Amino acid sequence: MAQQQYAQDSATIKKIYDNALTSFESYENLRYLTKQIGARLSGSPQAAAAVEWSRQLMEKMDLDTVYLQEVMVPHWVRGEKEIGRVTNSRLLGNVDMHIVALGGSVGTGKQGLSAEVVEVKSFEELEKLGKKKVKGKIVFFNRPFDNTLIQTGSAYGGAVDQRGGGPVAAAKLGAVGVLVRSMTNDYQTIAHTGSTRYQDDVEKIPAAAISTVDAEQLSSLLKEDSELKFYMRMTSETLPDVLSYNVIGEIKGSEKPDEIVVVGGHLDSWDLGEGAHDDGTGCMQSVEVLRLFNELGIKPKRTVRAVLFMNEENGLRGGTKYAELAKARGEKHVAAIESDAGGFTPRGFGLDGSKEQLQAVLAWKPLLAPYGLHEIGPGYGGADIGPLKGQGSVALIGFKPDSQRYFDYHHTEIDTFEQVNRREMQLGAASIASLVYLLTEHGLDGGGAKASK
């Protein structure tokens, strides 16, 4: 029986890959999303257009259900192009530098802000300086990625606290502004935006990311002249919240329709670039899973639900609302898969779940390994599916493409359609669809057939 099941699963997965790798549909959908709609920051007209377009896209697919899920989202706007400049350094005089406002940052006012700079690489170093050396200055957080780490996501995790918590920590000591080294392992003149956080009881100060090339130059200039000043001008502001939506499409399960396997990505993006790798590819791969099931006549035993989440980038309101409503409705999620690490060559999946669930997925490795999916083990699920954790026995699964190039493009103006390789994206969609098939066919409760030759 096990051999018969293995043969059936193997044949189905082969059909999934064959179809995905010879269809241009997901790639062309990504082209439209990025080129015709463009950047999709929460609260923007482009985000609203993306919701309506993706709803219509799924409605044309003859799914069992397509619907919108209301969610109120933040509406932050960047304003005019930012200006960053070192002024009056003893070594070079005035030097223009590449900066972008961090998401959620307050502006500097029309006149801009000019102040001396103090450089730190950690919060501990900042605290040691104290108010006397920080008050009235711009704090420059310059801790780089640890490039000895093979997984670039781990390097990101080791540096991103500067971006999220830097403005509050600096403001508590009297700083008037913050510069944060861009979150990338690359050495480039492009600045990377990303969300930052404030506290209501701490003064909100302007916060910007500075490119890695300029961060290195600023650090060198400070060693020559600790009294140089930095001028920054940003007109960003936060407007009232806006009504938006998660976009959901599903195929009902034939035997256990109340058991749900979710696959998703986030429809919103930062306002720079086109939101291609982050996360247009994840959204279109999720829609492609539904297309593959329909086109191949795969009747899932459990319900397959694609969710295009809104507001992952600067609030996580979509993922939070989805989990809130799922709990209120008593929905049973078997697993949730998130694709939010770019459209690069697939490597595997990381699972946040029980030992039993991990063993069940590992049992399918012989079916998945022929397609390059070797990195299957414990891992991080994803931001949007994270709020589902603890609701029953849901397993949270993160799709893992090759990570080496992701932070070249992440949160930048160069995250465009042209940077996505069609075949890599197709391989990712097939990989996700294959795991979704196995999950819907066998579940993770220990009762599924093992993939045994």
Same domain, 229 and 246: no
Same domain, 214 and 254: no
Range of the domain at 279: 2-75+240-442
pLDDT value at residue 383: 98
Q: How far is CA 246 from the centre of its chain?
A: 15
Domain end marker among 235, 256, 279: 235
Residues 221 and 397: their CA atoms lie apart, in Å, by 45
pLDDT value at residue 90: 84
What digits encode the pLDDT tens for the residues 160-176?
A: 999 999 999 999 999 99
Same domain, 309 and 369: yes
pLDDT band per the 50, 70, 90 thresholds, residue 93: confident
Residue 451 has pLDDT above 70, yes or no: no
pLDDT band per the 50, 70, 90 thresholds, residue 447: very low
Burial of 240-258, coded b for 16+ CB within 10 Å and e otherwise, reads eebebbbbbbbbbbeeeee
| Marked catalytic residue, from 312, 313, 331, 441 | 312
What digits encode the pLDDT tens for the residues 285-307?
A: 999 999 999 999 999 999 999 99
Q: Measured between alpha carbons, how far is residue 186 from residues 65, 195, 248, 265, 324 in Å?
A: 43, 20, 36, 25, 38
Known active-site residue 80: no
What digits encode the pLDDT tens for the residues 138-160?
A: 999 999 999 999 999 999 999 99
Residue 448 has pLDDT above 50, yes or no: no
Q: Is residue 179 a part of any domain in this protein? A: yes
Residues 386 and 319: their CA atoms lie apart, in Å, by 8
| Percent of the chain's residues with pLDDT above 70 | 98
Mean pLDDT across the chain: 96
Q: Is residue 412 a part of any domain in this protein? A: yes
Q: How far is CA 302 from the centre of its chain?
A: 27
Average pLDDT over residues 436-453: 74
Same domain, 157 and 224: yes
Residue 452 has pLDDT above 70, yes or no: no
Domain end marker among 235, 263, 280: 235
Q: Is residue 314 a part of any domain in this protein? A: yes
Query: Could you give the number of structural domains in the chain?
Result: 2
